[in-house]
C-alpha cells in the first residue's frame, strides 16, 4: 500500500509556535507591596491581584517574563499587561472600572436617625456620651423627624436603608413608630423600598413592639460582646443583668420575626483580647451564623475612660487573626459561621463590586454613602461625626434640618472639601500602596487622632490595621487550602 503523501509530516503545530516573543507586551498601571519576605502582592487599579516572587516582579517590569510561564498567564489574564495588537484587555479593564465606581452614582443609601440620646446601660466604650433614661430633653420631635424623612427621600439611591441609632431607640418608641409609619406611607407614594433596622440592647422589647415590627418589616441589630461575665463587664446596667436581657430579647425577636430578624456585633475591649475563642463560641452557642469583630472607636466615653489606649492596634490584629483562624477551623468541622468584616474585605479583593461600607471607599463614604440625623436636627456626615460633636468638636456637622436644605448640606464646604481630600488614588501614602484598590479613607478617625482628615499614613492605626488584615487574608487565599475555599464562600 503506498505511503500517504502526508506521512512523516506534522498535522498540527506545537503550542510553543503560538507563544508571543519575549518582551512583546505593554504594561498596564499596577502597584505592588510585600506580602512576606519572599513574595509581593501586585494589584491593578480595578483590584485584580497576583502574588508573585520578587524575581517574577522584576522580570515583569524588565519585560523578560517568559511567555507560557505560570506568572505570565496569571498576570495577562488579570490585565497587568497586554500583548501587541490586543484590545480586549483594555475593554475588560474599563468595564471592571465602571462597575467598581458605579456606587458613586447611587449616592446616599444609609440614613441614620437618633430618636433619643437616652440610654439604660452604661457601656464602658460608649461612643456617644449618652444621657440618662430620664433626660427627655434629648428626644427628637415630630417636626424634626418629618424633615429627616424628607431628606432621606431626596436621595437618588435605589436602595434606601433607615437605621435607628441611640442612645437606646426603644426609650422613645413613640417616635420610632411615628418615623416608621411615615416612611412606609412615603415609600408607597414614591415607589421606593426602604429597609429599616433598630439598633437596640433589646432590654425593652415587648409584644406590642414586636407586633408593630412584624407588620412593618422592621429588623433589629444588637450587641453581644461574649460570655456573660465579659458582656456584663463591657455593657453594665444598674437596673438589670445586661447579658440576660440581651439573650431574652434575641430569643423574642427570633420567635416573633424569624431567625434572621436580629443580627449582633461585638466591640473589643482590653478584657476581650485574651478570649477570642470564648467570644466566637458564644455566638455559635446562641445560633448566630455571623460575627463582626470590631475594634473600639476613639470617641465618647471610650476616649474619656481610656479604653481606647488599653490595647494597641497590633494586639487587636492578633486577636482578630486568632478569632478568624478559629472561625475557619469551625467551618472546616462543619459549623457554619462567617466573620462579617472579612467578608466585606473579600468582596473588595475578589470582585469589582462595592460594599457600601463607609470606611472602605474612595473618596470617603461619609455623607455620600451614609448620613446621620441627630435628635436635635443636626445633620452629620457619619455616625462617628456625631460622636466627635458630642465631644465638643462639630467639624463634620453639615447643617441643621430646621435651617438648612438638602442642597446646602450636601454641597457644604466641609463635605465637598473632605471628599476632594480623600480620593486615595492621589493621597500621599495611599496612591502608591499595593492595597489601595481595596482600602478607603476614614477622615473622621484621622482628624480625631492626628488632627488632619488625610492623616499621616506611617503612624495611622487605620492603615496599620488594614494592611495587616489584607496581608493575612490574601495569604490565606493564596494558600489554596480548605481555608481559602471557605473564605471565598463568604462573599455570597
- CA quadruple 154, 444, 272, 458: dihedral sign: positive
Q: What's the CA gap between 267 and 225, in Å, rounded?
A: 6
Show Cβ contacts of residue 188 under 8 Å, excluding neighbours closer than 6 positions. none
What's the pLDDT score for residue 299? 76
Is the bond into 482 cis (omega within 30 degrees of 0)? no
What's the pLDDT score for residue 163? 98
Q: State whether residue 95 is helix, strand or coil.
A: helix
Run of H or E residues at 293: strand 293-294
The answer to whether 147 and 377 are in contact (CB under 8 A) is yes
Q: State whether residue 317 is helix, strand or coil.
A: helix
Adjacent-strand bridge partners of 164: 113, 198
Place of cell 495611622: 460
**CA nearest to 267, candidates 303, 296, 237, 233:** 296
Give me 62's grid cell: 524588565
The answer to whether 41 and 78 are in contact (CB under 8 A) is no
Q: Which residues of the chain have pLDDT under 50?
A: 308-309
Q: What's the CA gap between 360 and 355, in Å, rounded?
A: 8
Beta-sheet pairing, 397-400 with 378-380: antiparallel
What's the pLDDT score for residue 355? 82
The answer to whether 196 and 180 are in contact (CB under 8 A) is yes
Give me 361's grid cell: 471607599
What's the pLDDT score for residue 476? 97
DSSP H stretches of helix in 351-481: 383-390, 406-410, 413-421, 443-450, 461-479
Q: State whether residue 30 is helix, strand or coil.
A: strand
**CA nearest to 453, candidates 462, 441, 464, 461:** 441
Q: What's the CA gap between 9 and 61, in Å, rounded?
A: 40
Amino acid at each position: 500500500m503506498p505511503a500517504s503523501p502526508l506521512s512523516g509530516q506534522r498535522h498540527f503545530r506545537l503550542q510553543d509556535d503560538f507563544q508571543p516573543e519575549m518582551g512583546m507586551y505593554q504594561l498596564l498601571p499596577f502597584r505592588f507591596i510585600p506580602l512576606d519576605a519572599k513574595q509581593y502582592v501586585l494589584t491593578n487599579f480595578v483590584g485584580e491581584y497576583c502574588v508573585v516572587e520578587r524575581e517574577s516582579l522584576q522580570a515583569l517590569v524588565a519585560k523578560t517574563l517568559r511567555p507560557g510561564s505560570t506568572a505570565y498567564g496569571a498576570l495577562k489574564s488579570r490585565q497587568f499587561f497586554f500583548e501587541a495588537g490586543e484590545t480586549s484587555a483594555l475593554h475588560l479593564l474599563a468595564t471592571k472600572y465602571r462597575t467598581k465606581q458605579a456606587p458613586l452614582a447611587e449616592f446616599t443609601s444609609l440614613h441614620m436617625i437618633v430618636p433619643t440620646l437616652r440610654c439604660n446601660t452604661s457601656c464602658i466604650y460608649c461612643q456617644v456620651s449618652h444621657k440618662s433614661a430620664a433626660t427627655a430633653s434629648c428626644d427628637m420631635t415630630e417636626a424634626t423627624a418629618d424633615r429627616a424623612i424628607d431628606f432621606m427621600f431626596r436621595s437618588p439611591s435605589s436602595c434606601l436603608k433607615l437605621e435607628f441609632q441611640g442612645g437606646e431607640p426603644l426609650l422613645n418608641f413613640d417616635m420610632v413608630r411615628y418615623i416608621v409609619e411615615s416612611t412606609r406611607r412615603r415609600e408607597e407614594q414614591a415607589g421606593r423600598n426602604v429597609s429599616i433596622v433598630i439598633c437596640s440592647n433589646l432590654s425593652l422589647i415587648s409584644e406590642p413592639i414586636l407586633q408593630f415590627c412584624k407588620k412593618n418589616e422592621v429588623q433589629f441589630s444588637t450587641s453581644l460582646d461574649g460570655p456573660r461575665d465579659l458582656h456584663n463587664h463591657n455593657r453594665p446596667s444598674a437596673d438589670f443583668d445586661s447579658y440576660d436581657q440581651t439573650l431574652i430579647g434575641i430569643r423574642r425577636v427570633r420567635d416573633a420575626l424569624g431567625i434572621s430578624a436580629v443580627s449582633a456585633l461585638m466591640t473589643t475591649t482590653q478584657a476581650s483580647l485574651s478570649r477570642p475563642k470564648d467570644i466566637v463560641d458564644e455566638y455559635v452557642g446562641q445560633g448566630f451564623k455571623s460575627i463582626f469583630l470590631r475594634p473600639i472607636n476613639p470617641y465618647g466615653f471610650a476616649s474619656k475612660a481610656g479604653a481606647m489606649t488599653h490595647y494597641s492596634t497590633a494586639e487587636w490584629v492578633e486577636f482578630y487573626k486568632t478569632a478568624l483562624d478559629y472561625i475557619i477551623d469551625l467551618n472546616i468541622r462543619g459549623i457554619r459561621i462567617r466573620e462579617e468584616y472579612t467578608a466585606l474585605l473579600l468582596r473588595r479583593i475578589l470582585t469589582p463590586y462595592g460594599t457600601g461600607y463607609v470606611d472602605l471607599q474612595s473618596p470617603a463614604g461619609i455623607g455620600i454613602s451614609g448620613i446621620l440625623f441627630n435628635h436635635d436636627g443636626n445633620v452629620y456626615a457619619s455616625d462617628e461625626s456625631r460622636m466627635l460633636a458630642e465631644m465638643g468638636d462639630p467639624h463634620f456637622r453639615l447643617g441643621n434640618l430646621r435651617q438648612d436644605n438638602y442642597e446646602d448640606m450636601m454641597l457644604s464646604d466641609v463635605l465637598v472639601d473632605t471628599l476632594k481630600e480623600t480620593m486615595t488614588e492621589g493621597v500621599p501614602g495611599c496612591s502608591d500602596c499595593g492595597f489601595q484598590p481595596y482600602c478607603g479613607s476614614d477622615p473622621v478617625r484621622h482628624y480625631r487622632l492626628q488632627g488632619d482628615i488625610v492623616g499621616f499614613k506611617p503612624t495611622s492605626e487605620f492603615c496599620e490595621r488594614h494592611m495587616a488584615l489584607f496581608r493575612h487574608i490574601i495569604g490565606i487565599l493564596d494558600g489554596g487550602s480548605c481555608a481559602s475555599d471557605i473564605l471565598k464562600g463568604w462573599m455570597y
